[in-house]
Amino acid sequence: MPRVMLLMTTATYRASAFLEAARAVGAEVVVGTERAQVLAASNPAGHLTLDFADEAGAARAIAAFAARHPLDAVIAADDDGATLAARAAEALGLAHAPHAAVRAARSKLASREAFAGAGLPTPRFERVAFADDPRPAARRVGFPCVLKPLFLAASRGVIRADDEVDLAAAFARIGAMLLRPGVAEAGGEEARSILIERYIPGTEIAVECIVTAGRARVLAIFDKPDPLEGPYFEETIYVTPSRLPEARQAEIAATTQRAVAALGLAHGPAHAELRLNDAGVWPLEIAPRSVGGLCSRALRFGDRVSLEELILRHACGMDVSALEREAQASGVMMLPIPRAGILRGVGGIEEARGMAGIDDLRVTIPVGHEVVPLPEGSRYLGFLFARAERPESVEKALREAHRRLRFDIVSPPAAEAAMRG
């Protein structure tokens, strides 16, 4: 039985999906988290408490654990453990993307430099320290431009600026975000500056792939039918298979391969975000992990094999080349947060679940908790899933179900009184 270390923070959405996948594969799982778990004392071989902020120390702890309980793979459930998983796997001689490649992929600046160096379509970009005036760099880059923290994921802190007034407001807003407790520490040196790049117009798509010996195999291309034009870039609907022409899909696959190679991501899952326009296919970023949140539930392979199971099989050296995505169209809607406040209730859930084509609905922020929209926020209200014969029907089902949902969000200071009443 293979033994796999799964690195995940206690805030992850994906624990259950990976644990279910491990049972399906027949793998023993060791969970590495930032907090001691209740069952750790009774099963020390199944849990390891790690300081994710101390990557070198955490990697040594994993190596010491592996000396007593040999591991066959180290996998990160999401962004938080990606570089640690790469560092630990590298130290143990396990198949994984190189640590340097994962670090580059996690940095928006390093990624831009790698893509430009490989001759991929790349907008003009500059790094600006927060102590500096951003206007000269923005003028050189050109308006409209996009400001991005170098290390945050999921569009967090990403803001479009159409002129110098927008630029000043966005620069200050991102700076305030990066000064929040825990954020600056997580970003280290990269939390002291931001990336300014020329806005890329066009259609945005996502690509899910698995990389073996440097070759990226496309598992799914997701259309994003809602325009993502700013000023913030909150993703909503993913639908697959793509409705783009086959020639365009081939171009997307080729560009994804070039971007993966430019970063040096030689092994494991990768999630690509790209933009398409008349000038070509532009890589935005390649994340060294699978699609985030609960979005992986929109994908099934072979005989109902989950994406997490495919990733675990691949990490353990099993052949996954015969696993193809199901023939049926599928999609997910990440439920957007319309405004900041306290979630008081959600209506229309049963009505939405009863819509034709809807496969599942998960509300992931509990009632009574704060909700924060982008660009500061990092969570969605939940996830809607649909399946149908055609992508058009999937998109329609997601939109119709979303229209049935009613989110009661109370803005402070009235929130506490409203929750009591």
Can you give the residue range of the structural domain that contains 96? 3-103
* Residue 358 within any structural domain of the chain: yes
Question: How far apart (Å, rounded) are the C-alpha atoms in residues 339 and 58?
Answer: 38
Whether residue 227 is contained in a domain is answered as: no
CATH at residue 83: 3.40.50.20
Are 145 and 89 in a shared domain? no
- Say if residue 52 is in the same domain as residue 135: no
Give the residue from 175, 198, 221 where a domain finishes: 198
Residues 86 and 132 in one domain: no
Considering the entire predicted model, what is its pTM?
A: 0.93
Residue 412 has a pLDDT of 72
Q: Are residues 75 and 142 in the same domain?
A: no
Quick one: pLDDT at residue 179? 83
Q: Is residue 173 part of a domain?
A: yes
In this predicted structure, what is the pLDDT of residue 153? 85
Whether residue 98 sits in one domain with residue 22? yes
Within a domain: residue 292? Answer: no
Do 415 and 333 share a domain, yes or no? Answer: yes
Shared-domain flag, residues 156 and 67: no
Residue 282 lies in a domain: no
Q: What is the pLDDT of residue 10?
A: 82
81-120 pLDDT, tens digit per residue, is: 999 999 999 999 999 999 999 999 999 999 999 999 999 9
Question: Phi/psi at 332 (nearest 5 deg)?
Answer: -140, 145
- pLDDT grade for 45, boundaries at 50, 70 and 90: low
Of 65-79, 171-185, 215-229, least confident by mean pLDDT is 171-185
Same domain, 99 and 174: no
How far from 181 is each of 10, 117, 186, 375, CA to CA, in Å? 18, 35, 9, 17
pLDDT tens across 337-366, in order? Answer: 999 999 999 999 999 999 999 999 999 999
Burial 274-308 (b: 16+ CB within 10 A, else e): bbbeeeebbbbbbbbbbbbbbbbbbbbbeeebbbb
In this structure, what is the dihedral angle of CA atoms 32, 38, 41, 46, given to the nearest 10 degrees? -30
92 and 155 together in one domain: no
The Cα angle at residue 86 between residues 80 and 88, in degrees rounded to 5? 100
Predicted pLDDT of residue 37: 60
Q: What is the pLDDT of residue 178?
A: 87
Domain CATH number, residue 140: 3.30.1490.20
In the predicted structure, residue 288 carries a pLDDT above the cut 90: yes
Instruction: Let me know whether 13 and 96 are in one domain.
Output: yes
CB 102 within 8 A of CB 84: no
CATH number for the domain including 395?
A: 3.30.470.20
Residue 26 has pLDDT above 90, yes or no: yes
Report the length, in residues, of the chain. Answer: 421
Instruction: Examine the pLDDT at 419 and tell me if it is beyond 70.
Output: no
Residue 244 lies in a domain: no
pLDDT of residue 413: 59
* Number of domains into which the chain is organized: 3
Q: In Å, how far are 11, 181, 280 from 288, measured between CA atoms?
A: 19, 26, 23
Average pLDDT over residues 118-126: 98
Q: What's the rounded Cα separation, in Å, for the pair 81 and 402?
A: 32
Residues 32 and 69 in one domain: yes
Of 140, 174, 198, which marks where a domain is finished?
Answer: 198
Say which residue the tokens 């509990």 belong to: 366
Which residue among 198, 219, 236 closes a domain?
A: 198
The residue among 123 and 34 whose pLDDT is bigger is 123
